[in-house]
Copies of this chain bind each other. A is one copy, B any other.
Amino acid sequence: MARKESITIQMILDTAFEMTREEGFINVTARKVAAKAGCSTQPIFRVYKNMEELWEAVYGRAIAYFQDYYSLYPRTGQTPFSNLGMAYIAFAREESHLFELLFLSQSAGEGAHVNRKSMYEVLNGEEGNVVREVTAAREAGCTDPGDLFTKIWIFIHGAACMSLTGDYDLSDQETRKLLEDFYMKAR
């Protein structure tokens, strides 16, 4: 009946996502994606209405990528909080373009941006999680868990953003010590 499709939506999304990882969101243009995928720009606009739709798909893929990254990151710290911090900071260092896209760009869509509140909810579903940790700390007569999580988030977000601009030079060991020390004092 008709010609068989040779460039799938998966190939295009994979290519665009990989380019976002390596070169940053700003460099994901129709022609560059096409060149890297080894085709013309036409298949892109067959499977996506326009570039914005592709960018949104890349954004969704980035969220999933971070969740995988976080869940697979080795838990070497003594507390859920330090493990979260270690993973978050490492993600900013190793996947700076994805970190920028997810946690630093003021996105156009309303509920699209990943922030403190959405992270709190995500972590709530996790086993041995940070939220339970801060709640337990509250019952032990410490700070309000909401406040504590905010303080925690400010700190690890700060370190992560510094690592993004190359302004964070602490080793993993030093970071772990710093985080655990911070948690003990902050709660």
Contacts and interface: CB of A to CB of B under 8 A. Distances in A.
Interface of A: 103-106, 113, 115-117, 150-151, 153-159, 161-162, 164-168, 170, 178, 182, 185-186
A88 to B, nearest CB: 11
Given A151-B178, A154-B155, A106 B164 contact: yes
Contact of A185 (B161, B165, B168, B185): B185
Contact of A104 (B113, B116, B156, B164): B164
A103 to B, nearest CB: 7
Contacts of A178: 151
Number of copies: 2
A167 B117 CA distance: 8
Nearest to A184: B185
A159 B158 CA distance: 7
Given A178-B151, A182-B151, A186-B185, A161 B157 contact: yes
Contacts of A159: 154, 158
Given A106-B164, A116-B167, A153-B162, 7 more contacts: A113-B166, A151-B182, A154-B158, A154-B162, A155-B155, A157-B158, A157-B161
